[in-house]
Amino acid sequence: MKAAVIYRYGDPDVFQIEDIERPQISPEQMLIKVFASSINPIEWKMRKGMLKLLTGSSFPITLGFDVSGEVVEIGEQVTRFKPGDLIYARMDQLTGGAYAEYAAVAEKAAALKPTNMTHAEAAAVPLAGMTALQALRDEGEFQPGQAVLINGASGGVGTYAIQIAKVLGASTVVGVCSGKNAELVRDLGADSVIDYTQQDFTQTAAKYDLVFDVVGDRSLSECKAVLQPKGIYVTTQPYPGNYLKSVLSLLWPGQKYKVILLKSKASDLAYLKAQIEAGHIRSVIDQRYPLENIAEAQTYAEAEHTVGKNVIAVSERAESRT
């Protein structure tokens, strides 16, 4: 099968498009014919070697976490899917493997694909959409009627977070983005927008129950004044120092510091599928690339100005709903 592999960490030119063996599946996995994948920041961070303490030095590595495609083979313990099913998933292997024509996906990491999305639109959802859901609902303990500010509202996680906050019953959703993306962020459901190039959101008179810092460039102490007395600050940056702050904030009453670390959950993908099919959540696609142009795709994503998601078409069925 065709796959984008790397033999060392480095710049985007380390990607090589090669013919390699299809992955072997274990009893709890399925072999998926990948029609589309998408780019997430963790993938270019892994390619650069920023996470090599975790990802090790054993090569070649096939990166990529998000998959939309068709089940072609199932392991003997798989009960929820059969060959021919169209699924979407966030692979739960340490380095993924989705930048390829076939991927070995755990049953517990997959759900049926939203029927009203193309594979490209569906492949944009799993990692970013589940991060937004778990950050708001689980770490943020978000309740209907509460007010939330999302810092980084125009990116992969942020565009889903605005829509999910509305689904969860937010009274007010404020999106922080640059002026060029304000209209999109409002269109996705934000009640108002703060242009970060013009105004510092921590210096306003507003009070939020939750600040979801998708960019991860602020801190609980900077956000204290704009958080309710029992408000929660959630960051996407899982650094050891941030976990320490999180544990310390639990030791006394008042505002809390939380870190989101995504877990692949079939039940969350099923929840997102239902909301997508009900018309409450959509994917915003910035750029579309064929698998052969993966280096170009990661170069674009690494500039950190993506609006929504960048998707990778692995097959001609990427733009099909079936």
H or E element that contains 172: strand 172-177
Question: In this structure, are strands 2-6 and 61-62 parallel, antiparallel, or unpaired?
Answer: antiparallel
Given a contact cutoff of 8 angstroms between Cβ atoms, the answer to whether 90 and 268 are in contact is no
Token pair recorded at residue 153: 């509202």
Which CB, 174 or 177, lies closer to ligand NAP? Answer: 177
Token pair recorded at residue 121: 């639109």
C-alpha 308/C-alpha 284 separation (Å) is 5
Question: Distance between terminal CA atoms of the chain?
Answer: 22
Which CB, 78 or 301, lies closer to ligand NAP? Answer: 301
Which CB, 157 or 276, lies closer to ligand NAP? Answer: 157
Which CB, 78 or 311, lies closer to ligand NAP? Answer: 311
CB of 291 to ligand NAP, least distance (A): 20
CB of 301 to ligand NAP, least distance (A): 6
DSSP string, 218-230: --HHHHGGGEEEE
CB of 216 to ligand NAP, least distance (A): 6
3-state SS class at 209: strand
Which CB, 78 or 214, lies closer to ligand NAP? Answer: 214
User: How many degrees, rounded to 5, is the angle at CA 208 between CA 202 and CA 214?
Assistant: 65
CB of 194 to ligand NAP, least distance (A): 9
- In the complex, the residues that contact ligand NAP under the rule CB under 6 A are 40-42, 127-128, 131, 151-152, 154-158, 176-178, 181, 196, 214-217, 236, 238, 260-262, 301, 304-307
> Comparing C-alpha atoms, which of 77, 209, 225, 84 is closest to residue 142?
209
User: How many degrees, rounded to 5, is the angle at CA 99 between CA 96 and CA 104?
Assistant: 50
> Comparing C-alpha atoms, which of 149, 151, 188, 141 is closest to residue 171?
149
Which CB, 190 or 215, lies closer to ligand NAP? Answer: 215
CB of 44 to ligand NAP, least distance (A): 9
CB of 151 to ligand NAP, least distance (A): 6
